Homo-oligomer: A and B are copies of this chain.
Amino acid sequence: MAPRENTFETTPDDSARPTRIVVVGGVAAGMSAAARARRLDESAEIVVLDRGEHVSFAGCGLPYHVGGEIASADALLVQTPDSLRAALNLDVRTRHDVVALDAAARTVTARTPDGDRTIAYDALVLAPGAQAVRPPLPGIDSPRVRTLRTVPDAVTLRGWVGAGARRAVVLGAGFIGLEAAEQLAAAGLDVALVELADHVLPPLEAELASLVRDELTRLGIAVHEATAATAVEPGPEHDVVVLGDGARLPADLVVLSVGVRPDTAVFEAAGIATERGAIVVDAHGRTSLPGVWAAGDAVVSTHAVTGARRPVPLAGPANRAGRQVADAILRPATARPIPPAVGTAIVRVGTLAAGLTGANRAELDAAGIAHHTIHLHPSQHAGWFPGATQVHLVLHVGEDGRILGAQAAGADGVDKRLDVLATSIRGGLTAEDLVDLDLAYAPPFGAAKDPVNLAGMLAANVLDGTLRLWHAADLDDVEATALVLDVRSAAEFASAHLPGALNVPHTELRARLAEVRDAAAGRPVRVTCQSGVRAHIAHRVLVANGFDSASLSGGMLTLRAALGRAADARLVTEEVLAR
């Protein structure tokens, strides 16, 4: 066994002020904990151990170096051990791979280029992060298959791109996979993107994910959904990625981004409590072992909306939890609890941004939380101001009006609406509260009724029964049992409509109610328009006139997106009519 690096006494009492804080992991949570600890305690010895060559690097920037949007890898190195020593008097030790924890002795052992080192601590912060999942496929260890977790990973891939790689396969269309695919395509490679789930960006609802798929396609990326790699066949010139659906994709490089798992084996071996591999912590980041705290991607987090327990591998929550762990260690009397995770995330794909906050439909269903879902497609700023584009919004609200989750996609203003909705979820706001938000309006920035206000109005209308919705998922039922009333203009109707739909423009509806009544012949009327606005107006007219009516949530825009590739088969289009 290697010699103990030092011999000072450890402090057996957790409540005593520690003299030496050891942090395992020097990126988001770990470095935040270390930096905050120094600001709170000038005299503590603070040691940061990291197995890699670099600490405090910009993990979220790695895909952007691969494609060259971040030209220099140096830009990714936000801090160095030297700069951290100079500014914060931190003792940062890279190439220190912690391989053992002895909680009774209050030591960790790190494997280093110079042999093992055992390091004593008074307080230990575990921020080991997550490691990329590597599915056990034939050929997965081909040197052309790379994950994208470290600066050297990004530099290697960037090197291959610079050296003339032409064909890339990205396995996994989550956030990092999408960024990698976008960047590789922007660098001129032929890119194929493979996703096991039914659609790219699986946490996104299908009706928004299809917008992402369309944008990927527009960027020239070949999207393979609902299939997975079954093997990688290495070759002398290039590899071939074989998919479950039989496709064979030649690849000069393969980016593996099918998920991450907490990197906790060493700590599990030391007896720390975990759930499905993630470290269990209390509200202050304290683990089951005395004197040991944890934060970041390796830790179980509680979902703010559903209460589900799972790791949340996001940089923001990791940074903030690390900071709060330092408070818990150094100011236990006043430290605030680490809040449950709202789980906000966003990705840029070409000219599109797409993201989500709170719970999605699947999570709400899994948690048994009853909810209404609304869709809308307002302009990101006043429609009459140049440059207006649509923000496609999905909002899930509870029966009590509480905002449970929201998703958005569009060319502009998506991040802003997600942030307002994330803030609303954190603040426990309701649909009616969204109506009341005084958001910043001038024509270049928003609208007198901001998309978030409109979402609140729409949801409030649904909750109080002013508006009754039908959804794309109801389409089979509706076609079997109801009259579809399409209140768009004749030209819009002609371009694509549901089979059997009656077209009465909303401006003519009051005068043509008898016609609707005849066509309905006692059936319910299910109204649609392009985005849901005109159908709402028509719905109110119909209800006032005694009809059983409902309005298609998000209109034909949402319906088409929800149907995805099946839309052409379900709609009567001009092309169909021309046959």
Does the CB pair B448–A61 fall under 8 Å?
Answer: no
Interface segment among A113-121, A341-349, A392-400: the answer is A341-349
State the Cβ distance, A326 to closest chain B Cβ, in Å. 12
Does the CB pair B441–A346 fall under 8 Å?
Answer: yes
Taking CB as reference atom, which chain B residue is nearest A536?
A: B39
- Other-chain residue from B438, B444, B457 in contact with A342 (beta carbon distance below 8 A): B438
Tell me, in angstroms, the Cα distance from A443 to B439 when the chains sit together.
Answer: 24
Known: A319-B448, A424-B427, A464-B334. A440 touches B346 (CB 8 A): yes
| Interface presence of A437 (CB below 8 A) | yes
| Interface presence of A40 (CB below 8 A) | yes
Tell me, in angstroms, the Cα distance from A382 to B64 when the chains sit together.
Answer: 12
| Interface presence of A86 (CB below 8 A) | yes
| Interface presence of A217 (CB below 8 A) | no
Known: A419-B420, A445-B346. A316 touches B438 (CB 8 A): yes
Interface size class, chain A = 35 or more
Taking CB as reference atom, which chain B residue is nearest A348?
A: B444
Does the CB pair B442–A348 fall under 8 Å?
Answer: yes
CB-contacts of A509-552 with B (<8 A): 510, 534, 536-537, 540-541, 544-545
Does the CB pair B437–A76 fall under 8 Å?
Answer: no
| Interface presence of A386 (CB below 8 A) | yes
Does the CB pair A175–B442 fall under 8 Å?
Answer: yes
Does the CB pair B384–A75 fall under 8 Å?
Answer: yes
Interface segment among A18-26, A196-204, A428-436: the answer is A428-436
Tell me, in angstroms, the Cα distance from A12 to B157 when the chains sit together.
Answer: 79
Does the CB pair B316–A179 fall under 8 Å?
Answer: no
Contact with B along A81-116 (1 / 0, CB 8 A): 001001111000000000000000000000000000
| Interface presence of A155 (CB below 8 A) | no
Does the CB pair B382–A60 fall under 8 Å?
Answer: yes
Does the CB pair A42–B385 fall under 8 Å?
Answer: no
**Chain B CB within 10 Å, residue with most, of A78, A83, A315, A429:** A315
| Interface presence of A286 (CB below 8 A) | no
Does the CB pair A443–B64 fall under 8 Å?
Answer: yes
Does the CB pair B339–A436 fall under 8 Å?
Answer: yes
Known: A39-B536, A316-B450. A440 touches B382 (CB 8 A): no
B residues near A419, Cβ cutoff 8 Å = 416, 419-420, 437, 439-440, 446, 450, 452
Tell me, in angstroms, the Cα distance from A320 to B433 when the chains sit together.
Answer: 12
Does the CB pair A507–B39 fall under 8 Å?
Answer: no
| Interface presence of A15 (CB below 8 A) | no
CB-contacts of A446-465 with B (<8 A): 446, 448-450, 452-453, 457, 464
Tell me, in angstroms, the Cα distance from A506 to B89 when the chains sit together.
Answer: 11
| Interface presence of A402 (CB below 8 A) | no
B residues near A28, Cβ cutoff 8 Å = 448
* 12 extra A-B contacts, CB within 8 A, seeds A86-B507, A179-B442, A334-B464: A39-B540, A60-B441, A61-B385, A78-B383, A89-B510, A320-B435, A343-B438, A348-B442, A348-B444, A419-B439, A422-B438, A427-B429
